[in-house]
Amino acid sequence: MATVLYWLFTIINYGLYIYMMAMVVYVLMSWFPGAWQSRFGQWLGGIVNPFLNLFHIIPPIFGIDFSPLIAFFVLDLVRSGLGTIFSAIMMRVG
């Protein structure tokens, strides 16, 4: 049982990490003209934009959009919370 929980946590944790890195790549693509219009940019946008759009309610400050930073922070909190929950479960399972 503990091994299954460990592998489940590991897969979810790495999945969230890969998603966070995809967000970083997508945000950095904004620095290059036409990068979002490329095939890779459109594919990555289709994956990342649904989550980022949740945070676009925050208006840009001095022309800088901080919503990706907040989205990244939220995903990091989710990863940390899952780690805490996993540790608590593993202590009970033994």
Q: Of 3, 17, 1, whose CA–CA distance to 82 is shortest?
A: 17
Residue 62 has pLDDT above 70, yes or no: yes
For residues 73 and 81, give the distance between their C-alpha atoms in angstroms, rounded to a whole number. Answer: 12
User: Cα dihedral angle (64, 42, 56, 68), rounded to 10 degrees?
Assistant: -60
**Confidence band of 58 (pLDDT split at 50, 70, 90):** confident
> What is this structure's pTM?
0.86
pLDDT at 94: 64
The values of phi and psi at residue 62, to 5°, are 55, 35
Q: What is the pLDDT of residues 4-56, one digit of tens each?
A: 888 888 999 999 999 999 999 999 998 999 999 999 999 999 999 999 999 98
